[in-house]
A and B are shown apart, each in its own frame.
Chain A
């Protein structure tokens, strides 16, 4: 009559969510922005994503094998895929294939697995990969296509593939002919050469409040991000403080000297700020864990981004700002522990 049962620790509920589900939701949230990217800049980004995911999964599997970890289990968590997609979204659509290779080598092997793999990395892998290729191959990494709408020569699918895989451009086109500066680049350049922002603003790559095309991609990032917020995959702290600090400081700068400072909206809707605020600075692993820590983290990323954009040598500073705050995260976590109940 007596019946035996298996025992297990409390609580006795099925798992509410899984790491895989979390990562999957982030990937889903990126879809609108990817679609917008294709719409505005052509299909290059799709090839870049494919390449980067391929390399990332390859490196991930290799490292898991080398570290004697269950390969299937960890490949299934999709974190490497997410890293790859975010990386691909940061590089120019026509970047040669080996950019992805080297970026993923540093992202997955160096920044992730040398630290012990999922959950242990101190730096945001995608951003490590991006910054490595950015400083190593500035030429390839600054070859941005202008939006299809104003491109002098729109590239077809085969042309794009040939450019990525073979470095060949159709006909007698040169890189200089088909690539152009990004809006932030123009702002940075005009500041460097002592011109007024308004002069740069006359370039066709500027849209209504950000870069032409870029502003819409940024919007779609925000939509995806808000969906993630609603799904509680990310918290509001990082995006709000990051965008908030950029808006606030950008506004102050703009009001004091509109000639050499772009409007705060320009800041928010150009470059990597939106993807950074919702998808990159929110990386839980390399960010702060405590609530106050996340507030500081977000604000820090925003402020450093602005400082680099305004005074630094790079047109955009999101990636650097994220890495810099990654550095500070353990220290911040140490000193922003929440007050324990009753203490």
Chain B
């Protein structure tokens, strides 16, 4: 039990995927202008990431490893991820077209959200089992989503602040992310095993 708690604490706080591990930054910067969009993206990522973490674990444990095909991991994982994302995209387009519009180009880009492939690769590297992989994927996405949502709420305020002109937009966004990372330094050492 503590083990799973630690995985969550580690992925969400101490080793937050976005702010500490630098994974998933493109959607982090790209979909954070509006709170609604950020929430939608977080939910989508939560779903995709957990699912793909588990499926890629299965792929790795039951196909690639037994056959000695570890060198195909990247390819295999990305295939799994692309498919999961594509299915999610189609389902969302059908069920919530507006959300689909807001998330715009970013849904297909979940495929290329490093966090997703990163989770799959890290699962292998850290020798997680099935449940650990699920928790790891979920925690990574929760950390990503939580930070994304907070960030977008902050950006809505920044958008109308009197920011020096050359800093408006992406620069102040990145500096804000930097200060968030600074705050997250406080969690270092939290998930010591």
Give residues in A with beta carbon < 8 Å to B: 66-67, 110-111, 113-117, 120, 122-123, 128, 131-132, 135, 304, 307-308, 311-314, 317, 319-321, 323-324, 326-328, 330-331, 333-334
Contacts and interface: CB of A to CB of B under 8 A. Distances in A.
Contact of A330 (B156, B164, B184, B188): B156
30 contacts: A66-B164, A67-B164, A110-B175, A110-B179, A114-B164, A115-B172, A116-B161, A116-B162, A116-B163, A120-B161, A122-B157, A122-B158, A128-B182, A132-B182, A135-B182, A308-B190, A312-B186, A312-B187, A312-B188, A312-B190, A314-B188, A317-B186, A320-B185, A320-B186, A323-B183, A324-B183, A324-B186, A330-B153, A331-B150, A334-B153
Main secondary structure of the interface of B (DSSP, over half): helix
Contacts of B163: 114-116, 120
A111 B185 CA distance: 17
B167 interface: yes
User: Quick one: which of A67, A113, A128, A320 has the most chain B CB within 10 A?
Assistant: A320
Contacts of A304: 186
Contacts of B49: none
Nearest to A308: B186
A171 B186 CA distance: 37
B107 to A, nearest CB: 23
Contacts of A128: 179, 182
B130 interface: no
B54 to A, nearest CB: 29
A321 B190 CA distance: 14
Given A311-B189, A334-B35, 12 more contacts: A110-B175, A116-B163, A122-B157, A122-B176, A123-B179, A128-B179, A128-B182, A131-B186, A308-B186, A320-B186, A323-B183, A330-B154
Contacts of A311: 189-190, 192
Nearest to B38: A331
B162 A120 contact: yes
B149 interface: yes
A234 B123 CA distance: 48
Contacts, number: 93
Contacts of A131: 182-183, 185-186
Given A132-B182, A326-B183, A312 B161 contact: no
Contacts of A113: 164
B153 A313 contact: no
Given A327-B150, A330-B154, A313 B179 contact: no
A336 B189 CA distance: 32
How big is the B interface, by class?
20 to 34
Contacts of A114: 163-164, 167, 172, 175
Contacts of B158: 115, 122
Contact of A331 (B149, B180, B184, B192): B149
Contacts of B188: 312-314
Nearest to B162: A116
A18 B189 CA distance: 43
A244 to B, nearest CB: 21
Nearest to A66: B164
Contacts of A314: 186, 188-189
A126 B175 CA distance: 16
A327 B180 contact: yes
Given A110-B175, A116-B161, A122-B154, A313 B35 contact: no
B3 to A, nearest CB: 15
A113 B157 CA distance: 15
A79 to B, nearest CB: 15
Contacts of B183: 123, 131, 320, 323-324, 326-327
A311 B193 CA distance: 11
A330 B156 CA distance: 9
B15 to A, nearest CB: 13
A72 B81 CA distance: 58
Contacts of B172: 114-115
Contacts of A111: 179
Contacts of B190: 307-308, 311-313
A283 B149 CA distance: 23
A323 B161 contact: no
A132 B154 CA distance: 20
Contacts of A313: 188-190
Nearest to A310: B190
